[in-house]
Structure 1
Amino acid sequence: MNAEGVARDPLDPQIRQFVSALERAWARYPAVESLPVAEKRRIAEIVRTPWREGGPTMATTRDTTLPTRHGPVRVRIHRPVADVETQPALIYLHGGGWTMFSLDTHDRIMRELAARAAVTVVGVDYALSPEAKFPHALEQIVDAVRALHGQASSFGIDAARLAIGGDSAGANLSVATSLVLRGASTEHPLRGMLLIYGCYTNEISVQAANGFGAEGNLLTAAEMATFWHNYLVRPDEALDPLAAPLRAELAGLPRAFLLAAQCDVLAEQSRAFAAKLCEAGVPADFTEYPGATHSFLEAISVSKLADRAIDDCAAWLRGLFR
């Protein structure tokens, strides 16, 4: 409360502008809870359209496919510089609770990271839930990473300088992919994990659920419960470390940069996961952005805080590949 007894808005003013704009856009449509998944996705693409526009222009962008056990998976390759024979690469996995969003909704974030870190960014169009249940998407991503590593030179990518990353459910899938690859007999193909306001367990504390997970926030505890329901075949699969990496043994994973948003129901999970990585001897850098909420990197066109966060991610990637 301020001196007049009015509750202070915890969000950064520019982040609040982003959240309010999303709320107004969603208000043009029926209540989300009443809609089938396909319609939610269609509307989400429309609502997110203004936030992926603008940003850096790539030297080349192309969509192609990589082979997986579930058939070819589409990938989008953003290459920021044309006259370099091989570049390091970040494999990027978009968020959306394993249920929503796409390469399109996260296209600007991928281009920003490519331009600022001077890396090729490869977005993976993994299958969404509830149509594709755990571990379908994970298996697609693991196979795509292996295929990209094996064919790196044909894409102008340095196979020795690969990282993986993503936001929200994409961060979850990034860690799970790294866990699977750690268990393989060959050397781990990934050098780092860029983990942006990730989801690492289905367990949300009462404090978080009643705080930034309450109704009226950009991401609620109730929405997360729905996403987990969509993703898993059975509730007890939440005990599987590949579904909930906070339950995993983490030693031997590649180094990580974790980004958390203070005003996010999942912030506690990033804090806990960063601590567990450090306890396991995995080098992990952690930054929490005050006044930020879930998805705030998408506010890059209006937010200095989002701009700074993307700069921090890019600086970490440049250091990783130096």
Structure 2
Amino acid sequence: MADRIDGLTASALDPEIGEFVERINRGYAEQGEPTDMADRRRIAEAVRESWRSGGPSMAETRELTLDGIRLRLHRPVADAVLPVMLYIHGGGWTVFSIDTHDRLMREYAARAGIAVLGIDYSLSPESKFPVALDEIVRVLDWLPGQADALGIDPARILIGGDSAGANLSVAACLRRRDAGQAPLAGMLLNYGAFDADPTESYPLYGGPDYPLSPEEMDGFWANYVSDAAQLTDPLVAPLRAGLHDLPPAFLAVAECDILAGCNHAFARKLAAAGGEVTEVTYAGAAHSFLEAVSIAPLADRALDDQARWLRERCGP
């Protein structure tokens, strides 16, 4: 049954996405309350374990490090020079890893025919803004010089991420633009956290039947910054930035997500600034719905949509 809040109507979850959310929520309940941040991360990894398994096999997977930063490169084919996407996992800057998002990275690699590089950036609250952003920019600056060693095309580098990872993707492109660097080939932005202020989607999709609550999101923002005043910094809240001269963007918006409103606002502002924007709202989708690809045709379709866009951005 649809709920009405402040004159707006909440849409129903897609059945398979609803099953995904119910199983995720049950998994957290079965693990019990975390005792500290390390335990919270352990629980998050355990709950996501079944969802990161299976999926495409890679021709090659390499474990790398850069200045102590853990990286993982997936290549769907060997002996070819491939475009590469730096993928930045979500988790509110606080939890998750390249392990929780391993299947998602392999799906992009296999479907789009590109290399995908995951980064285990430093998590908050131990490492606050701008530590993670600095690490991501460092990897982007390092990648072109590794083209021969990694079999990648330095002229076809993309960036992507989900939730906090989408935030960091845009912030990295803003940092590069302001430094006078050429834009990347594209930004793949999944249900991003682009501003801390609540929107109309918060009361609609912030209840216990959804995977992300306003209280949890507020906690993530608080973990990420050293001071509340930083929440208006354009590199923390990219919706507040000037969005001119950024790479083309694909925004995958989950309809039934507290972050849907800020995603729509970001897409409008990016387009108004002259950006090339592909915005697709997936009806019945919840936050993190792409992780449900093993059971949800909706997630499978969204990944196909994105793979097609990635291929178009990368050219022949």
**Same fold (TM > 0.5):** yes
1:172 is paired with a residue whose SS is: helix
Q: What is the distance in 2 between the residues matched to 1:77 and 1:239?
A: 34
Following superposition of structure 1 onto structure 2, how do residues 70-149 of structure 1 map, counting pairs within 5 Å?
71-84=67-80, 86-149=81-144
What is the aligned length?
309
Q: What is the distance in 2 between the residues matched to 1:136 and 1:96?
A: 16
Tell me by how many angstroms 1:59 deviates.
Answer: 0.2
1:49 alignment counterpart: 49
Matching residue within 267, 288, 298 for 1:274: 267
1:181 alignment counterpart: 176
Q: What is the distance in 1 between the residues matched to 2:10 and 2:203?
A: 17
Deviation by residue 1:61-119 (Cα, 9 ceiling, x = unmatched): 011012xxxx33111000000031x1100100000000000000000000000000000
**Percent of aligned pairs with the same residue?**
52
1:99 is paired with a residue whose SS is: coil
* 8 Å CA contact 2:167, 2:237 repeated in 1: yes
Matching residue within 195, 198, 202 for 1:204: 198
Amino acid at match of 2:277: A
Q: What is the distance in 2 between the residues matched to 1:209 and 1:308?
A: 26
Deviation by residue 1:160-211 (Cα, 9 ceiling, x = unmatched): 00000000000000000000001123433x1110000000000112x32221
Amino acid at match of 1:219: L
1:298 alignment counterpart: 291
**Which residues of structure 2 form unaligned runs of 5+?**
3-8
Deviation by residue 1:288-312 (Cα, 9 ceiling, x = unmatched): 0000000000000000000001111
* 8 Å CA contact 1:153, 1:159 repeated in 2: no
2:6 alignment counterpart: none
RMSD (Å), alpha carbons: 1.5
Could you list the structure 1 runs, at least 4 aligned residues long, displaced by more than 6 angstroms after superposition.
none
Q: What is the distance in 1 between the residues matched to 2:215 and 2:40?
A: 16
* 8 Å CA contact 2:20, 2:292 repeated in 1: yes
* 8 Å CA contact 1:201, 1:269 repeated in 2: yes
* TM-score normalised according to structure 2 size: 0.95
1:310 alignment counterpart: 303
* 8 Å CA contact 1:297, 1:306 repeated in 2: yes
Q: What is the distance in 2 between the residues matched to 1:315 and 1:8?
A: 30
1:28 is paired with a residue whose SS is: helix
Q: What is the distance in 1 between the residues matched to 2:33 and 2:207?
A: 17
Tell me by how many angstroms 1:9 deviates.
Answer: 7.5
